[in-house]
């Protein structure tokens, strides 16, 4: 069984790959509905990996009370790993919304938010964690 130290580092590699795919999806000019769905899916994956990497990293640091994305986000803010807890919590809320979104108007709005707010937020935490490797 792998140690927590190795686990967060391995999951971090998956996060970097996922963010790379998300970035590629964002760069598509005039995406069709299928490409937008892919972009949203890469966002969901990247967000899941982000909060899980944060959780595992903080558990390695001795923080053991992290049971949910919300707990993890609050603690990461408290110890300075992230700087905008409000936007992170909004990202969590919108990630939850993505699995229940079936209309194109909502998908369009979400794609714009992913491009302008959520991708930069996830990339920022990835860069922060990369410095810890």
Per-residue model confidence (pLDDT) at position 5: 66
List CB contacts of 65: < 8 A, sequence separation 6 or more: 71, 75
Q: What is the pTM of this model?
A: 0.89
Number of domains in the chain: 1
User: What is the CA 36 to chain-centroid distance, rounded?
Assistant: 17
Whether the pLDDT of residue 61 is over 80: the answer is yes
Average pLDDT, the chain: 90
- Residue 112 sits in a domain of what CATH number? 1.20.120.330
Per-residue model confidence (pLDDT) at position 101: 61
**Which domain does 103 fall in, by range?**
4-130
List CB contacts of 44: < 8 A, sequence separation 6 or more: 95, 98, 99
Query: Band of the pLDDT at 1, cuts 50, 70, 90?
Result: very low
Determine the Cα–Cα distance for residues 90 and 120; give it in Å rounded to an integer: 14
Query: Band of the pLDDT at 44, cuts 50, 70, 90?
Result: very high
Q: What percent of the chain has pLDDT over 70?
A: 93
User: What is the CA 67 to chain-centroid distance, rounded?
Assistant: 17
Q: What is the pLDDT of residues 72-108, one digit of tens each?
A: 999 999 999 999 999 999 998 888 777 666 677 888 8
């Amino acid at each position: 069984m792998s140690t927590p130290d190795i686990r967060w580092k391995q999951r971090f590699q998956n996060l970097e790959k996922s963010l790379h795919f998300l970035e590629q999806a964002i760069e598509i000019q005039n995406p069709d509905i299928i490409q937008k769905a892919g972009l949203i899916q890469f966002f969901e994956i990247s967000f899941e990996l982000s909060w899980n990497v944060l959780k595992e990293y903080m558990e390695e640091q001795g923080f053991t009370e992290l049971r949910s994305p919300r707990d993890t986000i609050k603690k990461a803010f408290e110890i300075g790993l992230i700087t905008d807890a409000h936007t992170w919590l909004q990202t969590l809320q919108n990630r939850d919304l993505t699995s229940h979104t079936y209309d194109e108007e909502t998908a369009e709005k979400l794609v714009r938010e992913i491009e302008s707010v959520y991708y930069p937020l996830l990339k920022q935490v990835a860069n922060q964690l990369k410095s810890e490797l």
